[in-house]
Amino acid sequence: MKLALYLPNFRTKVTLQELEDLTELAENLDFDSVWTLDRIVVPEASDRAELQYSFGMMADLPKALPVASNGEWFQAIR
């Protein structure tokens, strides 16, 4: 089995140092890869919790994404 770690890259939620620390930890724990989002689009309807479907398309989750549509993200480079 291969294990991968997904890293958040929303600037308002994580720092570069935290990303570096998590990446190093994943490497030390022999994870096979580390991933993050690229080309992120968050609709403005999410800011108003007015998405047609809930986050993750699960009924108990909110109709908004956990980040703002005008937020800033760190760019994935590899």
- Give the pLDDT confidence of 32-73 residue by residue, as tens digits: 999 887 767 888 998 999 998 887 788 888 888 878 888 887
What is d(CA 8, CA 67) in angstroms, rounded to the nearest whole number? Answer: 11
- State the pLDDT confidence band at 29, using cuts at 50, 70 and 90: very high
For residue 17, give the 3-state DSSP assignment: helix
Average pLDDT over residues 21-40: 90
Phi, psi of 73, deg, nearest 5: -125, 150
pTM over 0.85: no
Give every CB contact of residue 11 below 8 A, 6+ residues apart in sequence.
71, 72, 73, 74
- What pLDDT sits at residue 11? 78
Query: Which has more pLDDT, 15 or 13?
Result: 15
